């Protein structure tokens, strides 16, 4: 959901989250056909530019706070329990921070910590300021540990997908690491991660403001969706490297939750894997009314999906209800996740957003 970020800013990140929880290989998915599904990760690399749903205008970031001069820990020691259940003690409010994932980078910027970030992972690209920061790796899960240590961070923000070995190595080098994110990601757990980051960095106020805003945005969206008279059946495509056996969304991950929050019904909600690889026959038999393409960033187009052999009779294809979505909005457990839910809702219930 990026094994580690780039092909799957969606499928690989989510797959990593599930593997952390399952600690093994998933059993074949149980979907409403006789053909089995598997959970083998995709391997092909993208070659084309993304097709994105336009970002919403609703604000999710707290105002940038004035930061002390980097390089001098301030205040009393802070002891916290992070999202991985680890006890982390910081000598004070950190002024030099490194982020190991796009989600933690977005959280840091949303809390006004951009001036304290001294480096980020290879795939952090939002906001624009993140692109200019030094990069410390993360491709294929490999980080430049020597560079991290040389930058003398007072706090490293890791994600739920960060390999435990990476965290242990940094700990052994006396680098403080705080994990934000867990295998059981929900919208509320994302809110808790933001609040935790606020406590660790002296930004409690901005964190509370941001979470309050996000909760209000979600409540407003729920109010809009309450007038929906249907819950369309949704096929959400994560990866169609093999168009005859694409990856979709099953239960146990927050994309399934996004579908439900956006007023839809997941076509593969009964799969035994959170990331089932399903066949053309299974998709045709499911008869989805809406098709959402989070793999549009990797060359999959509405026309190419409509022209797949055997798909012409699918209701979503017949009624031209195939739409791309910006996968960064729905794959990064951070402050833009409500924008992702809204983008999905506009696809599933366009009649409510005219």
Q: Which domain holds residue 27?
A: 11-44+227-352
Whichever domain contains 174, its CATH number is 3.40.50.1980
102 shares its domain with 194: yes
255 shares its domain with 166: no
Asked if the structure places residue 184 within a domain, the reply is: yes
- As a whole number of angstroms, the longest Cα–Cα distance in the chain is 65
39 shares its domain with 107: no
342 shares its domain with 236: yes
Asked if the structure places residue 141 within a domain, the reply is: yes
Asked if the structure places residue 58 within a domain, the reply is: no
pLDDT the model gives residue 257: 95
Cis peptide before 127 (omega within 30 of 0): yes
pLDDT the model gives residue 183: 74
121 shares its domain with 38: no
Q: What is the pTM of this model?
A: 0.81
Asked if the structure places residue 66 within a domain, the reply is: no
- In order along its 354 residues, the chain shows pLDDT tens digits of 433 334 444 455 445 444 333 333 333 333 332 222 223 333 333 333 333 333 333 333 444 433 344 456 778 899 999 999 999 999 999 999 999 999 999 999 999 999 999 999 999 999 999 999 999 999 999 999 999 999 999 999 999 999 999 999 999 999 999 999 987 889 999 999 999 999 999 999 999 999 999 999 999 999 999 999 999 999 999 999 999 999 999 998 889 999 999 999 999 999 989 999 999 999 999 999 999 999 999 999 999 999 999 999 999 999 999 999 999 999 999 999 999 999 999 999 999 998
Return d(Cα 318, Cα 209) in angstroms, integer.
44
Asked if the structure places residue 144 within a domain, the reply is: yes
Please count the CA atoms within 13 angstroms of the CA of 5 that sit on its side-chain side.
19
Q: Smallest Cα–Cα separation from 237: which of 178, 176, 292?
A: 292
pLDDT the model gives residue 210: 98
Domain count, the chain: 2
196 shares its domain with 232: no
176 shares its domain with 106: yes
Asked if the structure places residue 4 within a domain, the reply is: no
Domain boundary among 157, 185, 202: 202
Dihedral over alpha carbons 169, 172, 178, 184 (to 10 degrees): 50
Asked if the structure places residue 312 within a domain, the reply is: yes
pLDDT the model gives residue 72: 67
40 shares its domain with 112: no
166 shares its domain with 231: no
178 shares its domain with 86: yes
Domain boundary among 186, 202, 218: 202
38 shares its domain with 98: no
pLDDT the model gives residue 240: 97
Asked if the structure places residue 234 within a domain, the reply is: yes
pLDDT the model gives residue 184: 80
Domain boundary among 155, 187, 202: 202
120 shares its domain with 39: no
């Amino acid at each position: 959901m990026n094994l580690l970020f780039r092909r799957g800013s969606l499928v690989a990140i989510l797959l990593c989250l599930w593997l952390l929880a399952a600690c093994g290989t998933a059993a074949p998915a149980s979907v409403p056909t006789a053909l089995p599904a598997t959970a083998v990760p995709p391997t092909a690399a993208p070659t084309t530019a993304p097709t994105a749903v336009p970002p919403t205008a609703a604000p999710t970031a707290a105002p940038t706070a004035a930061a002390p001069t980097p390089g001098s820990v301030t205040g009393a020691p802070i002891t916290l329990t992070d999202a991985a259940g680890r006890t982390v003690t910081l000598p004070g409010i950190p002024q030099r921070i490194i982020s190991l994932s796009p989600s933690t980078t977005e959280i840091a910027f949303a809390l006004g910590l951009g001036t304290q970030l001294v480096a980020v992972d290879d795939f952090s690209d939002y906001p624009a300021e993140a692109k200019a920061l030094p990069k410390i790796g993360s491709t294929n899960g490999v980080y430049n540990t020597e560079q991290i240590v040389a930058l003398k961070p007072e706090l490293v923000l890791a994600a739920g997908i960060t390999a435990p070995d990476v965290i242990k190595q940094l700990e052994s080098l006396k680098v403080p690491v705080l994990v934000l994110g867990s295998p059981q990601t929900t919208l509320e757990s994302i809110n808790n991660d933001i609040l935790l980051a606020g406590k660790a960095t002296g930004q409690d106020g901005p964190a509370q403001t941001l979470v309050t805003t996000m909760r209000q945005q979600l409540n407003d969206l729920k109010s809009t969706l309450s007038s929906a008279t249907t819950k369309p059946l949704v096929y959400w495509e994560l990866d169609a490297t093999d168009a005859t056996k694409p990856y979709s969304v099953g239960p146990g991950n927050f994309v399934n939750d996004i579908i439900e929050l956006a007023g839809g019904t997941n076509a593969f909600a009964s799969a035994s894997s959170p990331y089932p690889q399903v066949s053309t026959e299974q998709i045709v038999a499911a008869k989805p009314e809406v098709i959402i393409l989070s793999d549009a960033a990797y060359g999959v187009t509405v026309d190419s999906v409509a022209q797949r052999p055997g798909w012409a009779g699918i209701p979503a294809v017949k009624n031209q209800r195939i739409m791309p979505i910006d996968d960064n909005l729905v794959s990064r457990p951070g402050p833009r996740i409500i924008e992702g839910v809204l983008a999905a809702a506009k696809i599933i219930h366009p009649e409510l957003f005219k």
